[in-house]
Amino acid sequence: MAFLRLVKDLLGTEAVEGFKGSPSKSQFAFLLAWIFKTKKVDSLSLSLPPVLGLSWLKDLRMENCNLSCLPNEVGNLISLETLDLGKNKLCTLPDSICNLTRLKKLYLSNCDVLHLPNEIGRLVTLKTLILEGNSLLTLPDSICNLTHLEELNLSQCDVSHLPDEIGRLISLKSLNLRQNNLLTLPDSFCNLAFLSDLDLKDCNLSHLPDRIGMLSSLMNLNLERNNVCSLPNSFSDLGSLEKVYLSNCRSLQSLPELPASLERLHLNYCGRLQSLPELPVSLRNMDARHCTLLESIPTEFNWQAGLSMLLEGCDMLAKNNFANNVMERIDQSLSEDKKDREWSDASVYQRMINISLPGDEVPNWFEYQCTGSKLSLVVPPLVTRTILGYSLCIVYRTHENRGCLDYPMTIIRNKPTAFRFSTFSRHQDQDQMILLYFPSDCGRIHGGDELEIEIKQATWLTVKKCGINLVYEDNTEMPIKKKRKITDTRDPDISSLRN
């Protein structure tokens, strides 16, 4: 009963209700983990001392408990493995917290902490250290002794520089440094061989270390909102890199060769970027919206594997006839011998191509074109050829602010078999076009079939023109295409065209 009174005093009645089992076993199991559900601990002298005597306690969570200080006796919790003190008003931490040498997880987010104890490096078993939302400015050098640390979150901490020996954190896998004022990174940073996730968003960085390519395990890199003009040549050596975020790096002028493993590349609002290097065959998603000076994008690419490109606001690309050039290259690439295809096991959605950019005309490469939001054609005799799929171009304009960023567009194929696909666009005060490729897995198409496609209209969307192009297994022997107009498509009796 004395035990239950203690629990009730500390944690409230709800912690006692439903307390079941053998008293001795249940008491011991319960005391291994204390989770304070109350949101205010008015008096440390009343609330904490009973807990501080529990040397076998392994888990103590006091998040958002209105704590203003932590007593020195916290260092007596020598068995503690998890300590959560997030969302309190601690300002400082007692030096005795460094006695918790079995501690594996320490959460101190949004605690107004101004500095860490100089001996923080004594927490040699620490694997997770969450410090986001504090005003640390600097870090003690001893933090580099945490050689078992796997996750370090220092976001929004006003840190101006990292310790020179930060590379000694040899077990680090995830490092979040966003919204600090770092300017540069120490050279030893490149020794973090097991680092897989690195967030450097909004850190005022002007450049990266030349040896950045030594981060051989890096998979995700966020460099958004920094002042980098270029990336080191060793960037291409990041053999595990899959995702790179460089949006709003408004000083970025060029990119080096990209890693062969790259799948996602975000470059939107990089207003000084004029060209891109060769795109790796692994790339599946590229966002380069509002790169206003971007003049060209390499089209020699493994289009068979599918790709999404967001290029809204890239007016220079539109002026340089990128849409026509890219569709011609896509058609050629998709028509290559089957033995060269690397996407045989990929899903149909993975193999779709989706490109959006400015434009008010359907490219000449599209053989069948019409005005309005509906089109229909009869597939010509195939003889010995096989249709791999078809490309679709939609010229449209959005009208109103829907209260959200994305404007949905639904594409419905009624014939020969039903198929529905939705994509999204961002509002622009100009005509836009979407270029799509649908592989034949979306529904086989044969000679003599009627192919009927409709883009669903909405109050925020006007579809002006459409175009479609059939992609054959081998287009190299086909005669030069002639654009064919499909007229009167807004009539209930949709027109069709035969070869």
Second-level CATH architecture of 362-472: Sandwich (2.60)
Q: Which of 389-393, 446-450, 481-485 has the lowest mean pLDDT?
A: 481-485
Which has the higher per-residue pLDDT, 266 or 457? 266
Which phi and psi (to 5°) does residue 19 adopt? Answer: -75, 115
Q: Report pLDDT digits (tens) over 220-260.
A: 999 999 999 999 999 999 999 999 999 999 999 999 999 99
Residue 445 pLDDT: 81
Map out the domains of the chain as residue ranges. Answer: 1-15+26-159, 362-472
CATH entry, 1-15+26-159, from 3.80.10.10, 1.10.3720.10, 1.20.1440.230, 3.40.50.720: 3.80.10.10
Question: 2-11 and 23-31 helices cross at what angle (nearest 10)?
Answer: 30
194: which 2 tokens?
């097991």
Rounded (to 5) percent helix, strand, coil in the chain: 20, 25, 60
Question: How is residue 191 annotated by DSSP?
Answer: G
Q: Is the per-residue pLDDT at 323 higher than 60? A: yes
Using CB atoms within 10 A of its CB, is residue 14 exposed (0-12), middle (13-18) or buried (19+)?
exposed
Mean pLDDT of 488-496: 36
Count of CB atoms situated within 10 Å of the CB of 218: 24
Residue 232 pLDDT: 97
Q: Report pLDDT digits (tens) over 136-160.
A: 989 999 999 999 999 999 999 999 9
Residue 443 pLDDT: 65
Q: Is the per-residue pLDDT at 346 higher than 70? A: no
- Smallest CA-to-CA distance from 210 within 239, 237, 240, 247 is with 237
Could you give the percent of the chain with pLDDT greater than 90? Answer: 53
Contact indicator for 78, 56 with CB cutoff of 8 Å = no
